[in-house]
Structures are given as structure tokens and as C-alpha cells.
Amino acid sequence: MKTVKYFLAFIVVIGLAAGMTSCQQKQEEPQQAAQEQATQEQAAPVKTLIVATDATWPPMEMVDKDKNIVGFDIDFMSAVAQEAGFKVEFKNTAWDGIFGGLDLGNYDAVISSVTITDERKKTFDFSLPYINAGQVLTVPKTLEGVAVLADMTGKQVGAQIGTTGAMEAKKVEGVKAKNYDEIGLAFEDMASGRIQGVVCDTPVAADYALQRDEYKDKFKIVGEPFTQESYGIVVKKGNQEVLDLINKGIQAVQAKGIDKDLEVKWLR
């Protein structure tokens, strides 16, 4: 009888031990899985995107005196990479072959002051818009009381022939629109007092009015862009993985206001 009791007691102890072990294993399994996942994430290599840019469009992208590629687009893309958790390597590429190289897979994306258009969207995928580079008005710093193009009534305003700026200047009644073969000639005339304003893309205005030594003490940009011409980052059609990664970074950059800080640095 004692033997039976001892045997039953032994069975109970074994059962309790097994239950405790099973319970402990169930508690440890989620912790172990979480640790293994964290280890895998730490071990995973950081993705590097090769990004092409035609560094001949200051202040958006250009080569400085030390041969470094700099500019608004470069700072913006670098911030996108940091926020989205990838690395970026820039490749200076001539404009006439930049989209062909993207199709061939020579790089993962293009950031080079590329306006988002319906025609381009047929061939490539675009990121979220990251800046409105529409038309702005630049005037001499001595000119007061001007905030919009309509305030230039009775004054001469220059623009490059055939551009959006030239069309916008013609729309405003009372503005004396003057066309130029090249936008630099318009800024020369404004510096000489022959015209009182210039309408052009925001980056072009920023280059002449804010960056160039011969003009930055003479000109100012007034108001905000009055046309919508959004720039986007270009990826190969169907490359959803890269597009999602870039868009993730753009959303974070815009949410934190980093893009506005860069506009102040390069475009204001």
C-alpha cells in the first residue's frame, strides 16, 4: 500500500515538474523570439541607394570648389536617407543620359530638379512631391510695396522667352512684360535699372538673388511661388520597394520640418 502511495506521489511530482517546465518554456518562447528578431535586425546590412543627379543646377545641385556635390536636393536626399534608415551615394550624371541610366539599372533613383508631369509618369514612378519650384518674382531690394506680381503694374518685368514665367507675366494687366533669350540677361538688365522685376523658377531666382556674389546684395525674392511645379524623386517603373523607402523618408522629413529648414538655407 505504501508502495502504491509513493508511486502515486512520484507521478504527481513528475506531472507538476513537467507542467512548470512547459509553463516556463511558453514564457521564454516569446522572449527568445523577440531577442532573435532583434539580433537579425541588427545584423541586417543597411541598404545603400545609388542616386543620380546632374550637378549643374544651382542651388539645387552643383559641385563646390572642393569638388563635392552640394545643394538643396543633396541635403534633402541625405535627410530622407537618414530618416528612412538607408545610406545614399550620389552619382554626378549628365542630364541627357540620366533617365536612360535609370532604366538600365545604373542607379536606383534620380534627384535632379525633376518636375512631376503626366508625360513622365507614363515611363517612370515618382515619389511624393517634395518642393514647389513654381514661378516667383525677384525685384531690387530698394523696391518697396511689392508682394505679388500684380503690384508691378506700370513696371517692366523680364522673363525668359517661352517659359512659364513669360506666360505668367503676360497674364497680369498693366505689367510690361519683356522677354529675353536667356534669364541671365534679364537679371543683368534689372541690375542696371532697365527693368524692375524678373519672373522665373524658384531655384533660378534663388541662385541669382541669393547665391551669386554680384547680385545677392541687390535683389530679393518677394512673396511665394504663384504656380505649382512640383519636383519629385524618380525611380524605375515598378520599383515599389525603393519608392516606398524614399516616400517613408520624405514623410518623416516633412513632418519634422527639415525641408523648410533647407528651403531657408538654400532658397530664401
Q: What is the pLDDT of residues 179-188, one digit of tens each?
A: 999 999 999 9
Of 240 and 22, more confident: 240
pLDDT for the residue numbered 134: 93
Determine the pLDDT at residue 3: 46
Mean pLDDT of the 246-268 span: 95
Using the predicted structure, report yes or no on whether residue 10 has a pLDDT greater than 60: no
Q: Is the pLDDT of residue 85 over 70?
A: yes
User: Any bridge partners for residue 48, and if so which?
Assistant: 87
Task: Determine the pLDDT at residue 1.
Answer: 47
Domains and their CATH numbers in the chain: 48-132+231-267 (3.40.190.10), 135-222 (3.40.190.10)
- Residue 267's pLDDT is 86
- The stretch 226-254 carries a mean pLDDT of 96
pLDDT exceeds 90 at position 76: yes
Strand partners, 52: 91, 110
pLDDT above 70 for 250: yes
Look at residue 2 and tell me whether its pLDDT is greater than 60.
no
Set of cell numbers at residue 12: 504527481
Render pLDDT for 110-137 as a digit per residue (tens, 0 to 9). 999 998 989 999 999 999 999 998 999 9
Q: How confident is the model at residue 16 (pLDDT cuts 50, 70, 90)?
A: very low
Q: Which of 8-17, 50-59, 116-125, 163-172 has the lowest mean pLDDT?
A: 8-17
As a whole number, mean pLDDT of residues 32-46 equals 55
Please give the span between the terminal C-alpha atoms of the chain, in angstroms, as a whole number: 97
Please state the separation of Cα 48 from the chain's center in Å: 17
Residue 108 pLDDT: 97
CA 85 and chain centroid, separation: 15
Say yes or no to pLDDT of 177 above 60: yes
pLDDT band of 210, cuts 50, 70, 90: confident
pTM for the model stands at 0.74
Asked if pLDDT for residue 265 goes beyond 80, the answer is yes
Report residue 33's pLDDT band, with 50, 70 and 90 as the boundaries.
Answer: low
**Confidence band (pLDDT; 50, 70, 90) for 37?**
low
